[in-house]
């Protein structure tokens, strides 16, 4: 891996990030532009990981409505061919730094299904605590698993 850079996401990153989102299957990439526009209006924090000038990862978080400093990491994705190289960790840590002084708590939500076991282990390894499980949330047989980290 060459030098990795984490920077605030800009609109010109979105086309390349849509390809990353498509490759990961995190969500349909046609949602990326509306999510970006909504995020800009709501003051969300977005970060892009870039390698050799090419966006290869994305993370963003937004304030949970009606809370005092509880933010939710709405997305984290890294190009599949680059996963396991520390890019996700760098994105999360940069997001945490960007939220310093704004967030007291950062949530990360994932699926309880077997294909997401690696994601659950990832959040635990970063010091996030599994705090909740909502059965049948995403679909029948697919629970929402919620992790949290105190950022104070």
Q: Please report the DSSP string for 3-70 in residue order.
A: -EEEEE--GGGHHHHHHHHHHHTSS-GGGHHHHHHHHHHHT-EEEEEEETTEEEEEEEEEEPTTSSSE
Q: Is residue 55 within 8 Å of 22, Cβ to Cβ?
A: no
Query: Which among 130, 108, 126, 103 is positioned nearest to 44, based on CA atoms?
Result: 103
Q: Is residue 63 within 8 Å of 42, Cβ to Cβ?
A: yes
Q: Give the pLDDT of the chain (152 residues) as one tens digit per residue.
A: 478 999 999 999 999 999 999 999 888 999 999 999 999 999 999 999 999 999 999 999 999 999 999 999 999 999 999 999 999 999 999 999 999 999 999 999 999 999 999 999 999 999 999 999 999 999 999 999 999 999 99
Q: What is the pLDDT of residue 5?
A: 96
User: In this structure, how many other beta carbons lie within 10 angstroms of the beta carbon of residue 15?
Assistant: 12
Q: What is the pLDDT of residue 26?
A: 86
Characterise 15 by phi-psi region: left (phi > 0), alpha (psi -120 to 50), beta (else). Answer: alpha
How open is the CA angle 57-63-67, to the nearest 5 degrees?
150
The owner of tokens 């994932």 is 110
Q: What is the pLDDT of residue 152?
A: 92
- What does the block give as tokens for 105? 């708590």
């Amino acid at each position: 891996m060459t030098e990795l850079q984490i920077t605030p996401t800009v609109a010109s990153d979105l086309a390349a990030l849509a390809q990353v989102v498509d490759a990961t299957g995190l969500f349909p990439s046609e949602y990326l532009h509306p999510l970006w526009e909504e995020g800009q209006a709501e003051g969300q924090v977005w970060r892009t990981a870039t390698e050799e000038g090419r966006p290869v990862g994305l993370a963003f978080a937004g304030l949970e409505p009606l809370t005092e400093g509880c933010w939710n990491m709405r997305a984290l994705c890294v190009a599949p061919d680059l996963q396991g190289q520390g890019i996700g960790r760098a994105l999360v840590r940069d997001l945490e730094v960007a939220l310093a002084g704004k967030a007291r708590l950062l949530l990360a939500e994932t699926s309880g299904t077997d294909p997401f076991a690696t994601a659950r282990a990832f959040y635990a390894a970063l010091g996030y605590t599994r705090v909740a499980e909502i059965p049948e949330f995403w679909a029948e047989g697919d629970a929402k698993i919620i992790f949290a980290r105190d950022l104070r």
